[in-house]
Amino acid sequence: MPTANLIDLNDVVHHASGQPILSVARLCLPPGHHGLLLGPSGSGKTTLLHALAGLLVPHQGRLSLLGHDLRAIGDAGRDRLRADHVGIVFQQLHLIHAVSIADNLRLARRLAGKAPDEKGLKELLIRVGLADRMSALPADLSQGERQRVAVARALVNQPALLLADEPTSALDDANCDGVIDLLLEQAALSGATLLVATHDRRLMSRLPVLLELVKPMERAA
């Protein structure tokens, strides 16, 4: 039986303040094919990741995730699909600073409508090397450790698709390699497909480029 592509995107355009900020003719991602969305700052990478996660609906075009048309299924359908199948490591991490890192993971499960899974949570924190920091607040961790929490949180609902937005651009070469190793390793352990949006061309030696974005305004010029 043919497996649906994780992502199928055709002729997507999105505008903000009357200007095109994202324009993509085609993106197709079969399960298991990790890759990069490469593009300079302002080319629409975060906008595209948010569209793939169903956090925004592009003004034009067709976008499907696991065979579901993201426009047709409505807000509730997009929320459900995201909760069940997508994990996101946001550019600004967006950890909840008032609660412990374990509670950040617990909340992510609860918000997705999933039953608590203390064993799975502990295993994830062991995998990212933070099992002994479960009760720490995000503010008590280093930036690298916070990023590890964000990776663990993105995987807590066993997603099919792991999206990471600009995870390495502020890092030196050794830490850049470490973060990609972590994402690839954790995606493999979770059976997730990894899609990284970045302007960091160092990552081209680690993952195939699936799409190179240009600023729509520059393309038109």
Residue 198 near Mg ion by CB under 5 A: no
- Residue 147 interacts, among Mg ion, ligand ATP, none and using kind-specific CB cut-offs from 5 to 8 Å, with none
Residue 55 · residue 68 · CB < 8 Å:
no
Min separation Cβ 152 and Mg ion, Å = 22
Closer Cβ to Mg ion, 157 or 198, answer by number? 198
Residue 46 near Mg ion by CB under 5 A: yes
Which one-letter amino acid corresponds to residue 135? S
C-alpha distance across the termini of the chain, in Å: 45
Closer Cβ to Mg ion, 5 or 91, answer by number? 91
Q: Closest-CB residue for Mg ion? A: 46
Q: Which residue(s) pair with 7 in the sheet?
A: 29, 65
Min separation Cβ 162 and ligand ATP, Å = 17
Closer Cβ to ligand ATP, 8 or 166, answer by number? 166
Residue 43 near Mg ion by CB under 5 A: no
Closer Cβ to ligand ATP, 45 or 127, answer by number? 45
- Residue 42 interacts, among Mg ion, ligand ATP, none and using kind-specific CB cut-offs from 5 to 8 Å, with ligand ATP
Smallest Cα–Cα separation from 36: which of 143, 157, 169, 145?
A: 169
Binding mask 83-102 for Mg ion (x = CB under 5 A): --------x-----------
Closer Cβ to Mg ion, 50 or 146, answer by number? 50
Rounded-to-integer distance, Cα 176 and Cα 159, Å:
23
What is the binding site for ligand ATP (CB under 6 A)? 16-17, 21, 39, 41-47, 91, 166, 199
Residues near Mg ion (CB under 5 A): 45-46, 91
